[in-house]
Amino acid sequence: MARPYVTLRRDTWAALSNHTEIRLDEDTLARLRGIGDPTSQADVAEVYRPLTQLLHLTMVNAGRLNDQRNDFLRLNVARTPFVIAVAGSVAVGKSTVSRLLQELLRRAPGSPKVDLITTDGFLYPNAELQRRGILHRKGFPQSYDRRALLQFVMDVKSGSPRVEAPVYSHSKYDIVPDEKIVVEQPDILIVEGLNVLQPARVEKNGLSGLAISDFFDFSVFVDAKEAHIKQWFTSRFLELRRRAAGKDEGFFVQYQDMSEEEAAGFASEVWDTINGPNLRQNVAPTKQRATAILRKNSDHLISEISIRKV
């Protein structure tokens, strides 16, 4: 049976890259890594350099096609941003992948302006989630203001000069009122989030039939076995709790009185009741929609890469 993907082992993938020097110094890499994420210089060279090259060639050719199409249509419009999505479970390491791609793409020929936004800014505030009875469903598709997110991506992709996105704080566990991220005509926009590859819903009114994924030029799904991701989630929870020790503000203060075992048990329960079901029901089923799938083994090491060929 024909498959739309070509799947390559890491060493075969690494050999595709020419030896253009895209390097990150150790301090920069340390700044980009998420909590508990061991991404190394070897990963940059073997996994992210070929991915950056593939992204860059896709971008250059998409830009050319757009220019020619606009000429044909006699449209006098500027080039609009190339949009890259990064999808995958909670705690799989999307943020590290997104921040690395941002940094590496900034170093690509022409030094493009690369902005990054996370979809958590479009979560409904806790008070609204509570009103809807879905506070225990944070991260599920229905916990986002999907219409506002779609409008945001359409506005950026259409070349609007200035577009604002709301901001979520993990430490407050809520939307930060009055804080905004401003996106001003980047060459590349990276959109990171659990549900970015969800297909369109059929709505009764308004923007029916469209999803943010209709505006992506390239998408990456970060994949791993659920048992490993749960382990990373639990370790991160314990680490964040440790870091909150002695502080009197922030979401993790409430877990200070628990023993390590109780805290691990609590994280495991959050996984089993919220993030695990969300992964299985909503996130994992969108994997095959991605242009690239990065498969991680138990150590976060990317061992296999699949790329859509048709």
Ligand X SMILES: CC(C)(COP(=O)(O)O)[C@@H](O)C(=O)NCCC(=O)O
Ligand Y SMILES: Nc1ncnc2c1ncn2[C@@H]1O[C@H](COP(=O)(O)OP(=O)(O)O)[C@@H](O)[C@H]1O
Q: What residues are designated binding site for ATP?
A: 88-95
Report the alpha-carbon distance of residue 244 to residue 11 in Å, rounded: 40
219: partner contacted, choices ligand Y, ligand X, none (Cβ within 5-8 A by kind): none
| Whole-Å CA distances, 61 to 57, 158, 161 | 6, 18, 23
Q: Is 121 in the site for ligand Y (CB under 6 A)?
A: no
User: Binder to ligand Y among 22, 34, 56, 156 (CB under 6 A)?
Assistant: 34
Query: 10 in the Ramachandran plot: left (φ > 0), alpha (ψ -120 to 50) or beta?
Result: alpha
Q: Which does 274 bind (CB under 5 to 8 A by kind): ligand X, ligand Y, none?
A: ligand X
Q: With CB under 6 A, what is the number of residues at the site for ligand Y?
A: 13
Query: Could you tell me whether strands 82-88 and 188-192 are parallel, antiparallel, or unpaired per DSSP bridges?
Result: parallel
Cβ closer to ligand Y: 59 or 175? 175
Q: Where are the alpha helices (DSSP H) in 76-201?
A: 94-106, 126-131, 146-157
The nearest distance, CB 70 to ligand X, in angstroms, is 33
Q: Which stretch binds ligand Y (CB under 6 A): 88-96, 109-117, 129-137, 212-220?
A: 88-96
Give strand ranges (E) for the chain. Answer: 5-9, 82-88, 114-118, 163-169, 174-183, 188-192, 218-223, 292-296, 302-308
CB-nearer residue toward ligand X: 13 or 168: 168
Under rule CB under 6 A, residue 81 binds ligand Y: no
For the CB of residue 79, give the shortest distance to ligand Y in the complex, in Å.
29
Task: Give the C-alpha separation, 100 to 97, whole Å.
Answer: 5
Distance of alpha carbon 33 from alpha carbon 99, whole angstroms: 8
Binding segment (CB under 6 A) for ligand X, from list 39-47, 116-124, 152-160, 292-300: 116-124
Cα–Cα dist 47/309, whole Å: 18
Binding status of residue 176 toward ligand X by CB under 6 A: no
When binding is defined by CB under 6 A, the residue of 35, 62, 207, 274 that contacts ligand Y is 35
Is residue 31 a contact point for ligand Y (CB under 6 A)? no
**Nearest C-alpha neighbor of 87 from the set 291, 227, 272:** 291
Quick note: the x/- pattern for ligand X over 241-280, rule CB under 6 A, is -----------------------------x---xx-----
Decide whether 86 or 307 has the Cβ nearer to ligand X: 86
Burial-class residue 1 by CB neighbours within 10 Å (0-12, 13-18, 19+). exposed
CA quadruple 214, 219, 224, 230: dihedral sign: negative
Q: Binding site residues, as ranges?
A: 88-95
Strand 5-9 to strand 82-88: parallel, antiparallel, or no bridges (unpaired)?
A: unpaired
Subset of 162-201 contacting ligand Y (CB under 6 A): 170-171
Is 194 a binder of ligand X (CB under 6 A)?
A: yes
- For residue 222, list its beta bridge partners: 88, 294
By CB under 6 A, residue 90 contacts ligand X: yes
Q: Which is nearer to ligand Y, 59 or 124 (CB)?
A: 124
Q: Is 153 in the site for ligand Y (CB under 6 A)?
A: no
Contact flag: residue 138 with ligand X (CB under 6 A): yes
Which residues contact ligand X by CB under 6 A?
90, 118-120, 138-139, 168, 193-194, 270, 274-275
Q: Which spans of this chain sit near ligand Y (rule: CB under 6 A)?
A: 34-35, 88, 90-95, 170-171, 240, 251
